[in-house]
Structure 1
Amino acid sequence: QDFGYCLGVLHHIPNTQKALEDCTKLLKPGAPILLYLYYNFENKPIWFKSIWKLSDCIRRIVSISPKAIKHPISSVIALLIYFPISRLAYVFEKMGFNVENIPLSDYRAKPFYQCKNDALDRFGTRLEQRFSKSQITEMLMKADCKNVEFSSGTPYWCCIAFKK
């Protein structure tokens, strides 16, 4: 393959390293791979991580629910949590505040549909792994890639690497 991408998938696979290696085996030498894996909040304050831990407890319950329950609950989470908090971040941003550490601030200018879709992705999946920048770099190197470059902005961690 001349190009590979895997955006928001591999962190839901039990053996992320093996899955990444399977992807990069298909690439020609020098071919780029664009990758997005959930990040482990290494660049966020402790209170942010604590909020995530609480939400993860909720995710573990919601994710094992039947689809008929999981979908409506995720929609309610999007409506009552994602949308209002993200819009509050939007207001704060317009007032001149830095909103990068407000949970869900990435959704501040996104449509409700994206909030709803991402709430289902977040709360509806049983396996959610999160990685540091250094772990992702190491995984890519083990997957026969080089020249890993990360985006400096959100979503963390989105990167590009090249097959050796």
Structure 2
Amino acid sequence: MRSGFRGASKEAGKDRSWPQRVLLYTVSVVRVVVSRFPSKVRSLVADVVAAVIYWPLAKFSRLVEKVGGDPSLVPLFQYRHRSFFVTRNDALDRFGTRLEKRYSKEGVRQLLEGAGFEKVVFSEDPPWWVAVARR
């Protein structure tokens, strides 16, 4: 089962705080377990995770934003303007997929440049690893 943890690379976690790294590792462990469940069980787990974790945090960050606070201080704030369907689908993608590979910004840049792309520009806002490049 050790091979399932390869996605949580040191490179991707080097710019994160220790609580974020612990959370990343925990999510990776849960993902390895859940991804081995039958399809219907994975789907049910994704529904529960979306309803109990993703959705409440997203809506709380939206409330923080409405009262003038910084929503980026709330985990999963990127979902604050997304539908439940999107959050549920992303929960299924995160926890229902056996293979997950995480890259740092520099790792994405190297992949693109190695494939012949030039002038790689990354988004300044979340999701941060969205990039535009020319070939």
Which range, TM-score by smaller chain? Answer: 0.7 to 0.9
Task: Name 1:22's counterpart in structure 2.
Answer: none
Say whether 1:88 aligns with 2:60: yes
Sequence identity of aligned pairs in percent?
32
Q: Secondary structure of the equivalent of 2:70?
A: coil
What RMSD in Å do the two structures reach over aligned CA positions? 1.8
Q: Alpha-carbon deviations, 1:75-132, whole Å to 9, x = none?
A: 1110111101111111122222212142211111211111111110111101111111
Q: How many residues align?
A: 125
TM-score (norm 1): 0.70
Task: Name 2:125's counterpart in structure 1.
Answer: 153
Q: Does the C-alpha gap of structure 1 residues 113 and 103 become closer, same or farther in structure 2, counting only changes over 3 Å?
A: same
Task: Name 1:124's counterpart in structure 2.
Answer: 96
Q: Secondary structure of the equivalent of 2:120?
A: strand
Return 5+ residue gaps in structure 1 as ranges: 1-38
Moved over 4 A (4+): 41-44
Q: Give yes or no for contact 1:148–1:160 (8 Å, CA) kept in 2.
A: yes
Q: Give yes or no for contact 1:48–1:103 (8 Å, CA) kept in 2.
A: no
CA distance in 2, matches of 1:48, 1:158: 21
Greater helix share, 1 or 2? 2
Letter of the 1:96 partner, please give it: G
Letter of the 2:17 partner, please give it: P
Task: Name 1:79's counterpart in structure 2.
Answer: 51
Return 5+ residue gaps in structure 2 as ranges: 1-10
Q: Alpha-carbon deviations, 1:42-62, whole Å to 9, x = none?
A: 654332332222222111111
Greater strand share, 1 or 2? 1
Once the two structures are superposed, the pairs formed by residues 1-164 of structure 1 within 5 Å of their partners are 40=12, 44-163=16-135
Higher normalized contact order (CA 8 Å, seq sep 6+, divided by chain length)? 1
CA distance in 2, matches of 1:134, 1:118: 24
Q: Secondary structure of the equivalent of 1:137?
A: helix
